[in-house]
Amino acid sequence: MIKSVYVLTARDPTIQFYVGCTSNITRRLSEHKMNAVNTNHKEYNTYKYRFIRELNDNNVAWDLTVLSTEIEVDEKTDEYSWILKIARENEKKDHLFYDDTPLTNMKAGDFLEEMLKDKELSGDPQSVKNWITTREQKASSYERGSNRPTRILDLYDEANKHVKIRQAEEDIRVEKKIKRLEKQLAEIIKLGLDRPVMIASIQTELNQLNSFNKLFNITGETK
């Protein structure tokens, strides 16, 4: 069965927002269109479908483009390789989505973000496969050693340290997002664009973020 890696794009096609893999391009495009508006679908609230609904609400066309039908290593590894490639391109263009991630496949702190942060990873399928294998081996070694009390304490201390780091990073990310949304809202108002749905969405998100800051006493000062 031939598998294809594809990308969902918007605006002819300057914005690339999701990478996937399928054996049936026509069916997969139809699924994306239906699932995005199906409130009962398990992925209704995922980033890719939230973004598609925003595009639909603002009459922005989007489509599916095939990236490759040549699977070099295996379908998942090849998909990750393309995700890494396009995520890096989007970072350079400052095309960021929810949680300031460069693709709607990703979430802050997940496996794909970890891969993206490894600047030594070349991105070709075989290198990606080797990276995944090494990561799995490290995870397995942690599990095998976790029955020793000292090891458990070490892991707890390490996890606690990373939680504090992640919280600090989240505080900075929230403040940056507020500034970006405020700038976007100001530009829409300045240009007099008729985008009531987009304006309402931005204002709602700004209110939520500002409430979050107030709740946790975040001053907005970044270093």
The pLDDT tens digits for 74-98 are 888 999 999 999 999 999 998 888 8
pLDDT at 150: 53
| 15: phi then psi, degrees, rounded to nearest 5 | -110, 120
Q: What is the pTM of this model?
A: 0.62
Give pLDDT tens digits for 184-205.
888 788 777 777 888 888 888 8
Q: Look at strands 4-10 and 15-22 and give their pairing.
A: antiparallel
* Average pLDDT of the residues in 5-13: 87
Scanning the chain, the segments in alpha helix (DSSP H) are 25-35, 47-57, 75-93, 111-117, 125-145, 149-191, 196-215
The DSSP call for residue 70 is -
Residue at 210: amino acid letter: N
Given a cut of 60, whether residue 136 has pLDDT beyond it is: yes
Give pLDDT tens digits for 138-152.
766 655 554 545 555
Residue 127 burial (10 A CB sphere; 0-12, 13-18, 19+): middle
> How far is 81 from 20, CA to CA, in rounded Å?
11
pLDDT at 49: 95
Give pLDDT tens digits for 204-213.
888 877 766 6
> How far is 89 from 104, CA to CA, in rounded Å?
14
